[in-house]
A and B are shown apart, each in its own frame.
Chain A
Amino acid sequence: MERDSAIELVGLSKVYGRGQDALTAVDSVTLSVPEGQVIGLLGPNGAGKTTTIKMMASLIEPTSGRARLNGFDVSRQRSCAVLQIGAVLEGSRNVYWTMSPWQNLMYFGRLKGLPGPQIKPRAERLLTELGLWERRNQTVGTFSRGMQQKVAIAVALITDPPIILLDEPTLGLDVEAARTVKEWIRRLAAEGKTVVLTTHQLAVTQELANRIAVIRSGKIIADLPTAELLASYAEDQFQIVVAGPLNGLRAALPSGAEVAPDGEVTRVTLPGADTGALHKFLGQLEAAQVPLISVTKAQPDLEEIFIRLIRDGGMPAVEAGATVGATAPGGAL
């Protein structure tokens, strides 16, 4: 079967209800995710992330459009398509709490059609690597939330699927458990797995995803490689923090500079990437014996970019270029 992408979504839409009560949860989403890519699917609550992931997993039938996993159409070749994925879905339970980790892995492995002798060595390896081997025969309900999530991850990986769907995998986890989950996502990426990750912890996405798609009101409003997205929001500004007031130096500031007193300090923003103006101003500060605290180049983090994207409804370039809901040029890595 000829294919280019591990995941291919074409015009995928989901409308719940009919008539006046109709609610468009996902609106013509088109994405193409190559093998081995970690894509962060971001969006506010109710944006359509989970519906999109569940349509990929064939748990929700699309109203229109198509989803393909490793070339298998999710609607028409469901029995093959579901074998391509392992999923940790949103919610507290992905596994049976009254069964042990071992029993869960045997059940979910067989559910995917694997015979027992093939599942056992994989289950043993996963439970060992996740630090659950000693407790493999205890019921999952007695575990901490972090350990339960580890079992859910083991279940998702029991068939060694090439595509992993992770919907809020760090939700409700403490710092240590969240770190374990992050390490596993990094490891999966290193193994060449294709990972779709949704989370509200944007620092996690910035760290792990090599591509980010932002969804708002069911539409993809940005879809770029992470580095490109961050670079596109890098600001040609320097932020200078000095102790105390600027006194007579205000007049020496270049035009467009902003001064904001902030308690014991003063924050100065110099527009433009001109380091000459910066050096000149720093020299004036030194001459006036104004203590310098810091000089930084303004670079909003993913959280700030996300907020701007949601507020503005997309990237300015995307709005002008009109590829909302389609794969942006940077998408096809």
Chain B
Amino acid sequence: MTAIPSPLGGPWATTKLQARLTANETTKGLRLLQGRWRSAFVAAAGLALVFMGFSIVVGGGFDRPLMALTLPELMAVAIAQTAALQGVGGIAEEINGGTLEQSQLGPAPHSVHIAGRLAALAVEGLVMAAALGAGFALAFRLHFHLNPAVLIPALLTVADALGYGLIMTALTVRISSTGATVHVLNMAIVFFGGMLVPSTAFPHGVEIFARFVPTTLGTQVSNTILSGHPLSAAWNNGTLPWLIVHVIVLLTLGWAIYVTFMRRARREGGLSPR
């Protein structure tokens, strides 16, 4: 019986293999989504109801200009909530079920696993966000100054939401009660992010605090462009640079926690069912 040689060859072969392994994780994540599409639908419907309900209560009806300002945050919340809840739930279920251990029996490093996992969460969140965004924009004929430049804050907002999801997922590797915290933080994002009331309408001190909350800065930059201003306006008022910093910090922090906790779990036997 001969030993199986390493599939890792030169740098190109390694890169190709890692891309395949990442795609494999993403495919798995999407297949698992197929098994729970009903709960994803219910989550989207819940967000839509909260959004509409608050529009009626706060806006005194469906205030279209107000909805145009809060809809981007609804989409951001959909991605952040999916990334955090499904990220936490998914990894907790894998730890408890034992599949996380099995999924470690391959040559892929931790970064490949988590990148593939986040990509699947991004797809799920984006589908939900696109459905909500398109649905409300068409149903209420909301007006936006569409500009290709909005893709930049949109992508950064997605990355910001995934960074938040990554931190929560990483914490779950070690702290099994993270799921409860996620619900509280998701509520904070809904409130401070600007899904109910635009964050620019908050008192100055509260707005500054809100900018630390994931997705708030992304929505502020997106709204700047969607209201007809150029990207440079967001750069000049400081929101875009701070958004970039926010994204980098969240992703770096999440990745560092994930790698640290996975290594620690391997030392302490924490990958096993609890």
Instruction: Write the residues of chain A forming the contact surface with B, with a CB cutoff of 8 angstroms.
Output: 1, 6, 16, 35-36, 51, 54, 57-61, 70-72, 78-80, 82-85, 87, 89, 91-99, 103, 107-108, 110-115, 139, 155, 159, 161-162, 192-194
Residues of B contacting A91 in the complex (Cβ-Cβ under 8 angstroms): 97-98, 272-273
Q: How far is the CA of A103 from the CA of B33 in the complex (A)?
A: 13
In the assembled complex, how far is the CB of residue B269 from the closest CB belonging to chain A, in whole angstroms? 5
Cβ distance A160 to chain B, nearest Cβ, rounded Å: 8
Q: Which residues of B contact A (CB under 8 A)?
A: 1-8, 17, 20-21, 24, 27-28, 31-32, 34-36, 97-99, 101-108, 266-269, 271-273
The 7 lowest CB-CB distance pairs between A and B, nearest first, are: A98-B35, A79-B107, A70-B3, A113-B7, A111-B106, A162-B1, A110-B24
CB distance from B119 to the nearest CB of A (A): 15
Q: A6 is contacted by which of B1, B8, B99, B102 (Cβ under 8 Å)?
A: B1
Bound-state CA distance A87–B31 (Å) is 23
A111–B22 Cα gap in the complex (Å)?
9
Could you tell me the distance in whole angstroms from the C-beta of B228 to the nearest C-beta in chain A?
A: 46
Of the A-B pairs whose beta carbons lie under 8 Å apart in the complex, a sample of 20, sorted by A's number, is A6-B1, A35-B1, A36-B1, A54-B272, A59-B269, A60-B267, A72-B3, A82-B105, A84-B4, A87-B105, A95-B102, A96-B31, A97-B97, A98-B35, A99-B35, A107-B28, A110-B21, A111-B24, A112-B106, A112-B107
- Asked if B266 and A112 make an inter-chain contact with CB atoms under 8 angstroms apart, the answer reads no
Bound-complex Cα distance A183 to B220 (A): 64
How far, in angstroms, from A54 to B268 measured CA to CA in the complex?
11
Please determine whether B269 and A112 come into contact, CB atoms closer than 8 angstroms: no
From residue A219, how far is it (CB to closest CB) to chain B in Å? 19
Residues in chain B near residue A71, CB distance under 8 A: 3
Q: Is the interface of B mostly helix, strand, loop or mixed?
A: loop
User: Which B residues are in CB contact (< 8 Å) with A108?
Assistant: 102
Once bound together, how far apart are the Cα atoms of A82 and B266, in whole Å? 14
Of B8, B31, B271, the most chain A CB neighbours within 10 A belong to: B31
Q: Do residues B21 and A111 form an inter-chain contact, with CB atoms below 8 A? A: yes
- B107 and chain A: residue at smallest CB distance: A79
Q: Taking A36-B1, A92-B98, A113-B107 as contacts, is the C-beta distance between A60 and B266 under 8 angstroms?
A: yes
The answer, among A82, A84, A159, A192, for a CB contact under 8 Å with B3, is A84
B20 CB to closest chain A CB (Å) equals 7
Q: Known contacts being A60-B269, A82-B105, A98-B35, is A113 close to B21, with CB within 8 Å?
A: yes
A35 contacts across to B, CB distance below 8 A: 1
**In the bound complex, how far is the Cα of B196 from the Cα of A242, in angstroms?**
90
Instruction: For B272, list chain A residues within 8 Å (CB).
Output: 54, 59, 91
Nearest CB of B to A60, in Å: 5
Please give me the residue from chain B that is nearest to A35 by CB atom: B1
